[in-house]
Structure 1
Amino acid sequence: MKFNLSITALVASVLLATNVEARWQPTPGLTWDYLLGAKDDVVKASKQQVVTFDLEQAERLVPYVHSKGQKAICYFSGGTTEHRAYDREEYQKSGLALGGNGDDWGNQWLDIRNKAKLQPLIRKRMQRARSYGCDAVEVDCLGIYHYRSDYTKEDSYVFAKWVAETAHQEGISIGLKNVAGIAESLEPYFDFAVVESCAKGNTCKNYKNFTQHQKAVFIVHYGESFTLSGSSLNTLIEAQKGMHFTCVFSQNNKLHDNVTNYDCNSGSTISGKNKKYGRIRNKR
């Protein structure tokens, strides 16, 4: 019995090590395209090193993106129902949906405290992403405490932590999406960060420990609130300068079109691709 247990433990440790070594980690200095609402042809037209698009498009788009030498980050929501066709019935049967007003996109928040029911559903989405060849996942809606007073910041921290651990168990990298209030404490568990509109609340600095640990931070601001000129650009530069982020601008939050990459310190437009693509994560 002891021998069998030792063999089992050894196999488990080898598998875990293999998963860790196989993970890609984006490093600071990469260019990025954020295309959650874009059609396939827009994604295919991207010239940036890293491209983020919806998991529903991954099976057909990841091979194309890889053929161009780009990396693919695949998006889904972890904290809301999202109504995806392939697992809608499982989510409906789970009883996790909380009801009420939901998020701003017509989805209901999920009971993130119920790990026993929610983790298997999220794990299946991560397994699907990896089967399609996604290099990483972006899991949205981690910060339920911003929207529902019956859930705490600690609830979101615990949820986000096990979401990241689940991704790593499945051998895929994961980016922290927003949740500026707990970003610093979650940095050790995530491979990079994806941040929206952080100049609004002056929270961009909450992610500087990512780049200090050689993890990419992809920052996006939208045309509803900012422009890349005048005092608006000055506000962006002041919020982002000196922290080695990737800074991009999108005309609106629908994310239908290719974004503009610009220098976080000067506002000058960045075109084309650099030579760096990130590295393989071989230790934690």
Structure 2
Amino acid sequence: MRRTVRLIVAAVSAALILCWGVPSEAASLPAPVSCSGCWKPALNTSWQWQLSAVPSAPYLDVTMYDIDGFDATAGNVSQLHSTKSGRKVVCYISAGTYENWRPDAGDFPSSVLGSDVDGWAGERWLDVRQYTGTLGTVLKKRMDMCKTKGFDAVEFDNVDGYTNDSGFPLTANDQLKFNSWLANEAHNRGLSVGLKNDIDQLQSLQPYFDWALNEECWTYGECTTADTGYGYDKYVAAGKAVFNVEYTLATSKFCSKANAQNFNSLKKKLSLDATRTPCRGV
């Protein structure tokens, strides 16, 4: 839902990549769960990301809607499906933070609650190392909710807590284990899954995720391999769609570059309301 403060930057990314081989942390990860029936978005996929309120008719003529998993009902998802052939609907849930306004907030044990998320009232970082316990149970229930409501895919937010002041001594390997577990659990439910941000771990996590969603990589010079050592262009080369949003840049500053990389880029407000300016036609 937002770009959080990243404390680990290009030096860490370089440390993770060993001569274009597999980063050392990836050696301890489980095998990716395959999902032959999961949606694999085309590289050029029109989309809308709207979290401030559940979209209502008339809908945009886009192939993908990414909306809040809790706020949307099964009826909302069904209507989005029925009003455009082939449209897919993505279930937004936060996997790395606690949100005190969610109906399952009381299910989180105090032991997993960390520091406040800077700038976002009522939100706290989670100790993602505890995903094998109660935290994992809560998150699996959220994924079950997405499946029951008829969503096609899931977007896990805040999956880069190790680069933030979480209140826990999270490591890069802790994050990799958690993120790969999330992707595998989504695939176990037949849900397509997108990797949200976590730019420093793009290479290790690429085999687990079906697509990627990024906030402001053009603003911060983090979009391509030339920028970071392993960029979103590698996802495109692997046939995995990249969805990108910029909040402050003028479209003249990034759209031509995004189109050249075959990214699906939008200009949006930070509130993620219905307003959008696509770099492509739709």
TM-score relative to the length of structure 2: 0.78
TM-aligned CA deviation for residue 111 of structure 1: 0.6
Higher helix fraction (1 or 2): 1
Residue 196 of structure 2 is aligned with which of 166, 169, 177? Answer: 177
Q: Are 1:227 and 2:250 counterparts?
A: yes
How many corresponding residue pairs? 238
Q: Which residue of 1 aligns with 2:175?
A: 156
| Distance 1:40-1:75 versus aligned 2 partners, 3 A rule | same
Q: Are 1:86 and 2:103 counterparts?
A: yes
- Equivalent-residue separation in structure 1 for 2:212 and 2:184 (angstroms): 15
Listed one character per residue, the Cα deviations across residues 158-180 of structure 1 (whole Å, up to 9, x for unaligned) are 21111111111121111000011
Q: Which residue of 2 aligns with 1:254?
A: 271
TM-aligned CA deviation for residue 214 of structure 1: 1.3
TM-aligned CA deviation for residue 236 of structure 1: 4.8
Unaligned runs of 5+ in 2: 1-32, 225-230
- Equivalent-residue separation in structure 2 for 1:245 and 1:189 (angstroms): 20
Conservation of the 8 A alpha-carbon contact between 1:37 and 1:255? yes
Conservation of the 8 A alpha-carbon contact between 2:214 and 2:245? yes
- The list of structure 1 runs, each at least 4 consecutive aligned residues, that deviate by more than 3 angstroms after superposition, is 234-238
Listed one character per residue, the Cα deviations across residues 136-171 of structure 1 (whole Å, up to 9, x for unaligned) are 000000001221272222221221111111111121
Q: Are 1:109 and 2:109 counterparts?
A: no
Q: Which residue of 2 aligns with 1:213?
A: 238
- Equivalent-residue separation in structure 2 for 1:123 and 1:256 (angstroms): 27
TM-aligned CA deviation for residue 82 of structure 1: 1.8
- Equivalent-residue separation in structure 2 for 1:202 and 1:94 (angstroms): 37
- Equivalent-residue separation in structure 2 for 1:49 and 1:81 (angstroms): 30
Q: Which residue of 2 aligns with 1:281?
A: none
- Equivalent-residue separation in structure 2 for 1:146 and 1:58 (angstroms): 33
Q: Does the residue aligned with 1:41 lie in a helix, a strand or coil?
A: coil
Conservation of the 8 A alpha-carbon contact between 2:259 and 2:279? no
Residue 59 of structure 1 is aligned with which of 70, 74, 83? Answer: 74
The root-mean-square deviation of aligned C-alpha atoms, in Å, is 2.1
Map residues 117-196 of structure 1 onto 2, 5 A cutoff: 117=133, 118-148=135-165, 150-196=169-215
TM-aligned CA deviation for residue 256 of structure 1: 1.1
Q: Does the residue aligned with 1:148 lie in a helix, a strand or coil?
A: coil
TM-aligned CA deviation for residue 28 of structure 1: 0.4
Q: Does the residue aligned with 1:66 lie in a helix, a strand or coil?
A: helix
| Distance 1:235-1:65 versus aligned 2 partners, 3 A rule | closer
- Equivalent-residue separation in structure 2 for 1:84 and 1:22 (angstroms): 34
TM-score relative to the length of structure 1: 0.78
Conservation of the 8 A alpha-carbon contact between 2:219 and 2:249? no
Map residues 92-103 of structure 1 onto 2, 5 A cutoff: 93=109, 95-98=111-114, 100-103=115-118
TM-aligned CA deviation for residue 103 of structure 1: 4.2
Residue type of the alignment partner of 1:46 = L
CA radius of gyration, larger in: 1
Q: Which residue of 2 aligns with 1:203?
A: 222
- Equivalent-residue separation in structure 2 for 1:59 and 1:121 (angstroms): 20
Conservation of the 8 A alpha-carbon contact between 2:211 and 2:241? yes
